[in-house]
Amino acid sequence: MALIVQKFGGTSVGSVERIANVAARVARFRERGDDVVVVVSAMSGETNRLLALGRDVAGQGEPAPREMDALVATGEQVASALLAIALGVRGVPARSLLGHQIRLRTDAAHTKARIRTIDDEPLREVLDAGQVAVVAGFQGIDEHGNITTLGRGGSDTTAVALAAALAADLCEIYTDVEGVFTTDPRICPSARKVPKISYEEMLELASLGAKVLQIRSVEMAMKHGVKVHVRSSFTDAEGTLVTKEDESLEAIVVAGVALDRDVAKVTLRGVADEPGLAATLFEALADAHVVVDMIIQNVSADGRTDLTFTVSRGDAETARPIAEKALGEQKRGDVIVDASPAKVSIVGLGMRSHAGVAAKMFRLLAVAGINIEAISTSEIKVSCLISEAHGAEAVRALHEGFGLADPA
């Protein structure tokens, strides 16, 4: 008997039949005596339908973020009510719960709010009454009771946050893939499912375009020590356990290879190498809600240097005038935007103690004839910007070169 949080994504609740399958699965856990909190996303396609409706109504204008949140939050509300109905008719008592009902408080940053507090009492009451709590994911309320949403994939974060608040034994994330793979199986047929991965590695993989788990949910799981099991809602196979690193993990140098195609590169050429410009630039980008990924600046030669950063392609044209304005203040240099690169990365805890991993990566890419445009490293990852045309090739070369195709 355990307390388990289970999150089901949009495809898992995408039709009446699939909702029935989810209900049957939840019922099995109840039968063996577990307490179950379920978190659901909107039925697949629903969030996009609602967003399109909101934009249609806004026409040429900009829809108010507060209202877009109130609008799209209905998707999860519908899914949670439907699952509670499906459980009820199977004889499993269940209650749907919305953000305001579990008092899931967030900040007021509409469309990308962050969780501040969760009141576990409403959930405990439901569990104590022998019911399954079916929580609408992705949504919360700010301190004034306005509906907020947590951004794309926010239901993962809801699930992990609830697991943390309830000190749950396990947080299961049911999705349409079987777990975390060493790389994208569509790009590299020899990709393997990883039975176990550390928070740190998962974090790097999540932020590198392996879209299995929302990155903030992994951060939260790591912070609160929530064991996360990523698995398929269509099979009973074990997926990937995301947990604290242990000895068995240490042996693996590179855990996975990730490819991110949604990259635009902005280069400021001839930047005066003096204090303040970088701060001004990145503050202005943050104010414009542009999320900056890599930042690369080399040492200067003649008091001038080049500063490169990457953003998602959708943000490239927002970033350009901001970069130009930053450069404009020094009345020199120019801005080059390149929306064609891809980012290939290797991730692994073992890098910390194994020298030469980065060098081996550069060699493998060189042997494959792939030019590296920029490099950025962290303690457990190395990322290279390359031409998008070579993306798949680079993944295969690295996956094979680091021996990921062989069973660990």
Kindly indicate which of the ranges 62-70, 217-225, 239-247, 291-299 contains the residues binding a second copy, using the contact rule CB under 8 A: 62-70
Considering the complex, state which of residue 154 and residue 333 has its C-beta at the smaller distance from a second copy. 154
Site membership for a second copy, residue 70 (CB under 8 A)? yes
Which tokens hold the place of 239? Answer: 């997926």
User: Does residue 31 bind a second copy (CB under 8 A)?
Assistant: no
Where does 90-153 have alpha helices with state H?
121-128
Which among 81-89, 167-175, 247-255, 306-314 is the span making contact with a second copy, rule CB under 8 A? 81-89
Q: Which is nearer to a second copy, 13 or 205 (CB)?
A: 13
Tell me the C-alpha distance between 12 and 257, whole Å.
26
285 binds a second copy (CB under 8 A): no
Per-residue HEC secondary structure of 217-253 comes to HHHHHHHHCCCEEEEECCCCCCCEEEECCCHHHHCCC
CB of 32 to a second copy, least distance (A): 23
On the CB side of 52, CA atoms within 13 Å amount to: 5
Query: If DSSP codes are grouped into helix, strand and coil, which group holds residue 122?
Result: helix
Q: Which residues pair with 383 in a beta bridge?
A: 345, 376
Q: Under rule CB under 8 A, how many of the chain's residues touch a second copy?
A: 42
Q: What residues from 347 to 366 belong to the interface with a second copy (CB under 8 A)?
A: none
d(CA 158, CA 139): 8
Query: Of residues 101-120, which lie at the interface with a second copy (CB under 8 A)?
Result: 101
Of 24, 53, 279, 295, the one binding a second copy (CB under 8 A) is 53
Task: Please enumerate, as own/partner, the contacts of 300-305 that have beta carbons within 8 Å and a separation of 24 or more.
Answer: 300/273, 303/272, 303/273, 303/274, 304/270, 304/271, 304/272, 304/273, 304/333, 305/271, 305/273
- The reply on whether position 51 binds a second copy by CB under 8 A is no
Q: Which of 201, 25, 203, 115 is nearest to 4 (CA)?
A: 25
Q: Does 11 bind a second copy (CB under 8 A)?
A: no
AA identity, residue 36? V
Stretch that binds a second copy, among 80-88, 237-245, 271-279, 329-337 (CB under 8 A): 80-88
Q: Which parts of 142-201 interact with a second copy (CB under 8 A)?
A: 145-147
| C-beta of 135 vs 259, nearer to a second copy | 135
Chain residues binding a second copy by CB under 8 A are 16, 19-20, 50, 53-54, 56-64, 66-68, 70-71, 73-74, 77-78, 80-82, 84-86, 88-90, 94-96, 98, 100-101, 145-147
